[in-house]
Structure 1
Amino acid sequence: MFVETQEEEPEIKIPLPRVGITNLRTIAKINWKGRVYTFIPTFEITIDLPREKKGIHMSRLVESITDAMSEAVEEEVRKIHTSLEDLALAVIERLEKKHKHKRAEVWIRTTLILERRTPASNKISYEPYDVEVGVIKENGEIRKVLKVKVIGNTACPHALANNQGKTHIQRAIGELEIVTDFRNDIALEDMIEVVESSFSSPTYTLLKTPDENAVVRRMYDNPKFVEDVAREILIKARNRFPGKIHVKVISNESIHKHDVIAEAWA
C-alpha cells in the first residue's frame, strides 16, 4: 500500500486555479484534410486544485495524454477533418476519468508546415508556422484559444516618399489570437492566410533570383507601417472569425537599434 500524500490537507489552505505539467513533448498524429500528419507538439495540462488537497497526481495527467493519443488517433483517422483542438479535448475527456476537477486546460504548441508556391519560378516551398491551441473546460462550458505566428516583410512608406523612391525593409512578425466557443470552426491555415496577406510581402524559405526580384518589387509596390499591418490583420480577422481577437505585430527594424510594436484587440 502506498501513501497518497496528494490527498492530505495542506498546511496553507488556498485553492490553486492551475496546477499541472508543462513543456511535455510527445508525438501526435492528425488526420488533416484527408492526410495524416505527424507532429511533435509541446503540451501543457492543468487542472484546478481545491483548498483541501495538498497536490495533484502528476502521473495521471501524463497518462491522460498517452491514452488520448492512442484513442484519438484510431478515432480521428476515420474522419475527413480533425484538428489539434479535437485532440486537446480528447485529453481533457480522458483526464476527467482519472482526476477530479472543475476546470481543466490543455495547451498544444507545435509547428505547422504548409506548402507554398514561390512567386516567379512557381517552385514548391515548405513554410513553417508556429501555432498554439488551447482548450479550456469549466463548469461544462468549453472554449478554445487559437494562436498563429507568421513572419513577413514590410517596406517603410515614409522613407519611400522622402528618399526618391528608395526605402528600408525589415522582417516583421505578426501574431493573431482568437478566443472562441469550441464549436466554432476556425482553421489555423485560414488565420495564417489573414496574417500573411497583410504584410508588404510574404517571406519564403526557398527563393530563386526571379523570386527574390518579385518579392522586392511587391514590397516596394505595397509599402506599409507596422501599424498598417496590425490594422489590416484586425479588420480581416474581425470580418472572418467569431470570437475575441488579439493582434500583435513586431517590426524588427533594419535602420534602428530598437524594434517597433503595434497591438490591438477586438
Structure 2
Amino acid sequence: MDKFKFNNHLKQLPSKQERLKLFGSVSPGPKTKPVNKCDMKDLQNVQKDFLFKLDQVGIDRVKHPVTVISKTHPNEQTTIANFTFTSAIKQTSKGTNMSRFMEQLNNYHKKGFIADFTTLKTFTKELASRLKQEDATISVGFPWFFERRGPQSNLPGLNHADIEMTTTYHKTNGFSISASLTASITTLCPCSKEISEYSAHNQRGHVTMDVQFMEHYDEGEMDWKLELLEAAESNASARLHPVLKRPDEKMVTEQAYENPRFVEDVVRLVAADLYEMDFIRAFKVTCRNEESIHMHDAIASLSFDKLKEVGS
C-alpha cells in the first residue's frame, strides 16, 4: 500500500485546538494583575515580626553538570552533581528569593563550574550578598571517578567514590568547609578465618568519612579526595577493581586473606590515618559491611574532634 492510500485509511482526528478543549482546556480569562516586575508585589521581601528566625531556607535536589579536577587519572572529568543552596532568614524577613539561587548557579555554569572549595567559597560569599543575608551555604554531591589497574595484569578501568562538599560563608565568622567521601572496599571476616577449616567468608564494605577541614587547608597542596580514598582502601582487607584477570584475582583474594578486618577494625584504622592528617580538624568514620552469610549488615562508627582533644 503506497503512502497516499495508507493515509486515507487512517482515522481523521479533531484539530489540535479541538483536542485540547476536549480534555478540559479553556480560553484565557480576563487579566487584571500587573505584568511588569516593578509593579508586582514581592511577598518574600515583606518585613514584619514573623515569630522565629529560620536556620535554613533554600532549594534542594538541583541536578547540574560540574567539572571535577583530580590529581589522578582522569585529571578532569564532567559529572552530574546534586546541589543544595540555603541561607538563614531573620525573624523580620518573610522569606528568600528562590530564583536568585538558580541565577547564581547559571552564571557560574557559563564560566564552567569547577567543583572545588575555591569556587564554592566565592559562590557562597556572592550568594549571601545577592540574597542580602549574612550567610549562605552550598552543598554539592557527585560521583568521582578514578582509574584503578589490576595488581598483576595492570589493565585499567574506572572505579568511583561518592563525594559531597559543603561550604558555608558567614559575614562575621568567615568560611567553614567540610566534605564526605564514601568508598567501597573488600573485607574478610577474622572470625570466619579463625574457626573455619577452609577459607573464610568476605563481603563488600562501604566506608564513609565525614571530615571538617582546618582553616589553613590549601587545595593546591594536596588532593583531599585521594587522601581520604587511600585512608579507606589501605585499611581494608583488599581494594575493589573494575578489571580482574585470573592472576589479579589470585593476588586480591590472597591479600584479603592476609588482612582480615571486622567493621570495628576498619573504622579504627581509618580514624588513625585521618587523625594524622594535619588538614583535618574533626571527622566521623562509618563502615557498613554487606554480610555474605547473614541477612543483616554489620556497622560501626566513631567520631573525633582534634580541637576538643587539645582543649581538654
Normalization by structure 1: what TM-score?
Answer: 0.90
Q: CA offsets per residue over residues 60-79 of structure 1, 9 Å max, x none?
A: 01111121233465xx7xxx
Q: Give the aligned partner of residue 17 of structure 2.
A: none
Match of 2:255 among 203, 218, 222: 218
Q: CA offsets per residue over residues 95-148 of structure 1, 9 Å max, x none?
A: 133111122110010011011111121111211110110001122421111110
Shift of 1:154: 0.7
Q: Give the aligned partner of residue 162 of structure 1.
A: 195
8 Å CA contact 2:206–2:287 kept in 1: the answer is yes
Structure-1 separation of matches of 2:237 and 2:250 = 14
Bigger Rg, structure 1 or 2: 2
Aligned counterparts, 1:140-151, within 5 A: 140-151=173-184
Is 1:254 aligned to residue 292 of structure 2? yes
Q: Give the aligned partner of residue 226 of structure 2.
A: 189
8 Å CA contact 1:177–1:246 kept in 2: the answer is yes
8 Å CA contact 1:147–1:175 kept in 2: the answer is yes
Deviates more, 1:33-42 or 1:128-137: 33-42
Structure-2 separation of matches of 1:147 and 1:208 = 32
Aligned to 2:131, what secondary structure does the other structure show? coil
The list of structure 1 runs, each at least 4 consecutive aligned residues, that deviate by more than 6 angstroms after superposition, is none
Q: Give the aligned partner of residue 79 of structure 1.
A: none
Runs (5+) with no aligned partner, structure 1? 77-82
Shift of 1:11: 7.6
Q: Give the aligned partner of residue 43 of structure 1.
A: 83
Shift of 1:207: 1.6
Is 1:65 aligned to residue 99 of structure 2? no
Structure-2 separation of matches of 1:205 and 1:112 = 15
Q: Give the aligned partner of residue 308 of structure 2.
A: none
Match of 1:200 among 227, 237, 242: 237
Is 1:122 aligned to residue 154 of structure 2? yes
Runs (5+) with no aligned partner, structure 2? 1-38, 305-312
Normalization by structure 2: what TM-score?
Answer: 0.78
What is the aligned length? 258
